[in-house]
C-alpha cells in the first residue's frame, strides 16, 4: 500500500479526535483509502492528553508542517482566519493537499484558496466545515449532483440549537444555557459567532455555493441571531403549533437567490422541529429527489473528526489520479460558478409571527387588523391573551400569510404608531418548509 503522510496542525478537540480515530480504525481506513495513512507530523503549541501521539514528530511552529517535504496532506484544525489562511496558502504553495474544518476560512477566503489550489493542482477539502459529522457537502456535490437544488434549510449551529432547546423544554434562561454550551465545548472561542448567527452564516455561504454553483457570498446573507428571542414568544409559538429554530435558509428561484439566517417558527410536527439539543440537520429540496433530511452531530471531537477523515480518505484514494478526475471542491470547476442576483431581504417573502401589547379597549384590535387588511396582509391565526385584573394591556399575537418584508415593515410601523399599542412589535419569520 502506498504511504500517505498526514500533518495535523492544531491538536485540540478535533485534532485529537482525528488522531484517535485513525489509531482505532486504522485497518478499515487504510483498506478504504487503499493507502497506509499515517500522521507523521503534528503542529501544535501544546500537547493534548486526550490523545497519545507517541513518537510522532511535533513542531511548535505549525508552518514547519506546511514546509515538510514528506507530508502529502496538511490538516488545518487551528481555526480563525489569519494564521489559518497563511498556513493553508503556504501548504498549497508547497504542493500539499489540504483538509480543513474551518468554515470561517472557507466562507471568507475560499475564492482565493480554491484558485490557488486549482493552480497548484491540489485538493482543498472541507466536509467538516459544515454541520460537523454530517456528510452534507458530499451529499450535495456528489449524491445530489444530478438534481437542481430548489432550497435548503438547516439547523447548522449546535450551540444555538442547544440554547433554544433548553429554553423551550426547561424554561431555562439564555445566559445560563450559553454558559453550559461553552463549558461543554460546543461554542466557538468567541460565542458571539454562535448566538449572533455568524457561524451559521459562514456555513450557509458554503452550502449555497455548493448547492447552487454560485460563488461564495457571505456579504449577501441576512443574519439575525437568537439573542433577542424572548421566552414568552417560544411559549406563544408552541400554543400556535410551532417550534422556534435557528435556521440558515438558501433558496433559488427565477428571481435570484435568497440567503438568510434567523430564528424561524416551523410547524411543531415537522421533522426539523424535532431536531433538538446540539444536533444539526439540513433539509434539502431537490427537483428529482424531492425533500431529504441530513441529521446528526454538528460539533464535537469525533463527529467532526469523522468528516475530516472522510476527506483524508477521499484524497488518499485519488492522490495519483490527474486533477481533472477529482470531484471539484465546490461541486463544479471554479470557472463554471455563476453569480446570480441576490434577493435583498426586503423583497424576500415569508410568513410572519407578530406580538404586540395593546390597550384592552373597544376597537383597539380592529384598528390594528384594519392596518393589516389595508396593506393586503391576511391574518392566518390570532391569539389575544386575557390579562389579570388591574392590567390594562393585553398581548396580541398574529400569524400572517406570505409577504415581502417591505410590506410587513410598513404595516408594523403603522401599528406601532397606534395610541393603543405600547412599545414595539416583536417580529419573527415563519416557514412551513413545504416543497
Please give the residue ranges that form the binding site for ligand HSE (CB under 6 A).
132, 157-159, 186-188, 194, 199, 298-299
Nearest distance in Å: CB 162, ligand HSE:
7
Residues 6+ apart with CB under 8 A from 217: 205, 208, 209, 259, 339, 342
| C-alpha cell read off for 392 | 390594562
Cell 490557488 appears where? 116
For 198-218, give one letter per residue: b (16+ CB within 10 A) or e.
Answer: bbbbbbbbbbbbbbbbbbbbb
Distance of CA 353 to CAs 196, 244, 310, 377, 401, Å? 20, 11, 41, 12, 10
Phi and psi at residue 281, to the nearest 5° = -160, 145
The 10 Å Cβ neighbour count of residue 251 is: 23
Which residue number, 162 or 242, has a Cβ lying nearer to ligand HSE? 162
Nearest distance in Å: CB 21, ligand HSE:
17
| C-alpha cell read off for 5 | 503522510
What is the secondary structure of 100-113 as a DSSP string?
A: E--HHHHHHHHHHH
For 281-292, give one letter per residue: b (16+ CB within 10 A) or e.
Answer: bbbbbbeeeeee
Q: Which of 96, 138, 203, 245 is catalytic?
A: 203
Contact 429, 350 (CB under 8 A): yes
Which residue number, 194 or 311, has a Cβ lying nearer to ligand HSE? 194
Which residue number, 104 or 415, has a Cβ lying nearer to ligand HSE? 104
- From first CA to last CA, the distance across the chain in angstroms is 47
Nearest distance in Å: CB 309, ligand HSE:
16
What is the secondary structure of 81-96 as a DSSP string?
A: SSHHHHHHHHHHHTT-
Cell 433530511 appears where? 293
* Nearest C-alpha neighbor of 411 from the set 366, 360, 361, 377: 377
The yes-or-no answer on residue 138 being catalytic is: no
How many CA atoms within 13 Å lie on the side-chain side of 159? 29
Which residue number, 7 or 303, has a Cβ lying nearer to ligand HSE? 303
Which residue number, 13 or 426, has a Cβ lying nearer to ligand HSE? 13
Which residue number, 91 or 301, has a Cβ lying nearer to ligand HSE? 301
Which residue number, 132 or 328, has a Cβ lying nearer to ligand HSE? 132
Query: Could you give the residue numbers annotated as active site?
Result: 203
Amino acid at each position: 500500500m502506498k504511504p500517505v503522510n498526514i500533518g495535523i496542525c492544531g491538536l485540540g478537540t478535533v485534532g485529537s479526535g482525528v488522531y484517535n480515530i485513525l489509531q482505532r480504525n486504522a485497518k478499515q481506513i487504510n483498506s478504504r483509502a487503499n493507502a497506509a495513512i499515517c500522521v507523521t507530523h503534528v503542529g501544535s503549541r501544546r500537547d493534548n492528553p486526550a490523545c497519545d501521539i507517541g513518537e510522532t514528530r511535533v513542531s511548535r511552529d505549525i508552518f514547519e508542517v506546511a514546509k515538510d517535504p514528506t507530508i502529502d496532506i496538511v490538516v488545518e484544525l487551528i481555526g480563525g482566519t489569519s494564521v489559518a489562511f497563511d498556513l493553508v496558502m503556504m501548504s498549497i504553495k508547497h504542493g500539499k493537499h489540504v483538509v480543513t474544518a474551518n468554515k470561517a476560512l472557507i466562507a471568507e477566503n475560499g475564492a482565493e484558496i480554491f484558485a490557488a489550489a486549482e493552480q497548484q493542482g491540489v485538493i482543498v477539502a472541507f466536509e467538516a466545515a459544515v454541520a460537523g459529522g454530517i456528510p452534507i457537502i458530499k451529499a450535495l456535490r456528489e449524491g445530489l449532483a444530478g438534481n437542481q437544488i430548489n432550497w435548503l434549510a438547516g439547523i447548522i449551529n449546535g450551540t444555538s440549537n442547544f440554547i433554544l432547546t433548553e429554553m423551550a423544554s426547561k424554561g431555562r434562561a439564555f445566559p445560563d444555557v450559553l454558559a453550559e454550551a461553552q463549558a461543554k465545548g460546543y461554542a466557538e472561542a468567541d460565542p458571539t459567532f454562535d448566538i449572533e448567527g455568524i457561524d451559521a452564516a459562514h456555513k450557509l455561504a458554503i452550502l449555497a455555493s455548493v448547492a447552487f454553483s454560485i460563488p461564495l457570498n457571505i456579504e449577501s446573507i441576512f443574519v439575525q441571531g437568537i439573542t433577542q428571542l424572548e421566552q414568552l414568544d417560544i411559549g406563544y409559538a408552541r400554543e400556535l403549533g410551532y417550534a422556534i429554530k435557528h435556521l440558515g435558509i438558501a433558496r433559488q428561484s427565477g428571481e435570484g437567490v435568497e440567503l438568510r439566517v434567523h430564528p424561524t417558527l416551523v410547524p411543531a410536527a415537522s421533522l426539523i422541529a424535532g431536531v433538538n439539543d446540539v444536533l444539526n440537520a439540513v433539509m434539502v429540496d431537490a427537483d428529482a429527489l424531492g425533500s431529504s433530511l441530513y441529521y446528526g452531530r454538528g460539533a464535537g471531537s469525533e463527529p467532526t473528526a469523522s468528516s475530516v477523515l472522510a476527506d483524508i480518505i477521499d484524497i488518499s484514494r485519488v492522490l495519483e489520479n490527474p486533477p481533472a478526475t477529482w470531484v471539484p471542491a465546490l461541486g463544479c470547476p471554479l470557472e463554471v460558478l455563476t453569480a446570480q442576483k441576490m434577493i435583498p431581504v426586503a423583497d424576500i417573502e415569508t410568513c410572519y409571527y407578530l406580538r404586540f401589547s395593546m390597550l384592552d379597549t373597544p376597537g383597539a384590535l380592529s384598528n390594528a387588523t384594519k392596518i393589516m387588511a389595508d396593506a393586503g396582509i391576511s391574518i392566518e391565526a390570532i391569539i389575544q391573551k386575557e390579562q389579570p385584573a388591574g392590567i390594562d394591556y393585553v398581548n396580541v399575537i398574529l400569524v400572517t400569510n406570505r409577504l415581502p418584508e417591505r410590506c410587513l415593515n410598513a404595516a408594523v410601523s403603522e401599528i406601532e404608531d397606534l395610541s393603543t399599542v405600547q412599545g414595539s412589535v416583536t417580529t419573527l419569520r415563519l416557514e412551513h418548509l413545504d416543497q
